[in-house]
Amino acid sequence: MIRFYFGKVVNRVRIILERITGIVKFNLLLVYERNEAHRKRRQVIKRKGISIVDRQVKKSIKRYARQRFGKSAYWPYLALYTEIRGKFIKGWIPNDYYWLVLLPRINPKNYGYISDQKTFDYKVFGDFAVKPLFYFISGMFLNHELNCIDKHQVKDMLLDYNKAIVVKEESGVGGEQVSIIHSSDLIMEDFNQSKNYVIQPYIEQYKILSDLYPNSVNTFRVTTYLKTDGSVHVKFVILRFGVNNSKVDNLSLGGQYLFFDSSGRPSNMVYDYKLGYEIGENHINTGCIFSNIKIPMFSEMLEKCKNAHKVYPYVRLIGWDVCITRSGEPKLIEWNAFNPVFWPVEARFGPFWIEDDEF
């Protein structure tokens, strides 16, 4: 009886300590995020040579933050958005609130992390995802149906394939742990026995996207939201592409993005991801004029993303990275259900969550 009581006390103490640790962590992250907002805002002001947020505007921002989010302390990112956009717009969601309050509520992390497990994609989403050549899981080589295959078979298959392939390590983010090599150059002994990999064909992209920038596979980020009535809505769509000999289109590695409206019409300008400033009307390397880009299968791509979201309803906000193949077929490259890109597009083109009853 004493042992049982002691166990209950220990368990209760553990729960209390976990809650205290969670509160401390939350507050530290809030401080960090708001310092980031202040830092970025200073950079935007320095670049523009003028500040939009005067005393009166700041007062309006704080009033809005207090009314909608319960605290005026959420004002720094809203001020950053205002400097980027050139005016304050009611309806915006600050990034610290999005990341630390809203996202954990609508995307429980235990369900969001699965999007990092790249070996699941084809099994979950079928032919919308790129069909793997094979997997390396738990120290075994497996075909796309997850049947074990001999490494000599794999070697012969790669020699016969004789094309570029993509090797993705699970849990890699931002283009990390992704290699593009010729199939004959794959050294199977280099696989880490404690990690899992998916080996896929290299996608030859649609001509329009290749003309835009041929050195990277340029992908659309389609962000979908599952409402409580079961319908799926597209929040926004951007096209990401590389520049200056970059082999990846990832925004955090120097890539740029082009915004598309719901009808598939691109914006005239391309934008920097980190500070949201306008870069230009044509690609710096290829000269491609952004406003001339037309994607005939744009609506089909959106429908595929919405249907894919219904297959995985455990999270309500998903960012889908989709390429268009040379034949014009939208194909899922990766998806993000943990922390989909939000604030740079929200600042420049939002607000995307005007009504609170959506979440």
In DSSP terms, which residues pair with 166 in a beta bridge?
180, 200
Residues making up the chain, counted from first to last: 359
Tell me what pLDDT residue 216 has.
86
Tell me what pLDDT residue 358 has.
62
Distance CA 342, CA 236 (A): 9
Tell me what pLDDT residue 1 has.
59
Nearest 5°: CA angle at 108, between 79 and 218? 65
Number of Cβ atoms within 10 Å of the Cβ of 200? 22
- pTM of this prediction? 0.89
Work out the average pLDDT over 148-167: 92
| Residue 106 pLDDT level (bands cut at 50, 70, 90) | very high
pLDDT tens digits, residue range 40-74?
999 999 999 999 999 999 999 999 999 999 999 99
| Residue 206 pLDDT level (bands cut at 50, 70, 90) | very high
Work out the average pLDDT over 235-258: 78
Nearest 5°: CA angle at 159, between 153 and 163? 125
Distance CA 181, CA 202 (A): 9
Gyration radius of the chain's alpha carbons: 23
pLDDT tens digits, residue range 254-281?
557 999 999 999 999 999 888 888 999 9
Tell me what pLDDT residue 174 has.
54
Distances (CA, A) of 338 to 107, 113, 118, 173, 319: 7, 6, 13, 11, 9
Tell me what pLDDT residue 162 has.
93
Hey, where are the domains in the chain?
A: 2-92, 110-117+206-358, 131-201
Provide the CATH number for the domain formed by 110-117+206-358 in this structure: 3.30.470.20
Which residue did the predictor score with more confidence, 282 or 178? 282
* Residues 6+ away with beta carbon under 8 Å from 25: none
The structure tokens listed for 61 are 């921002």
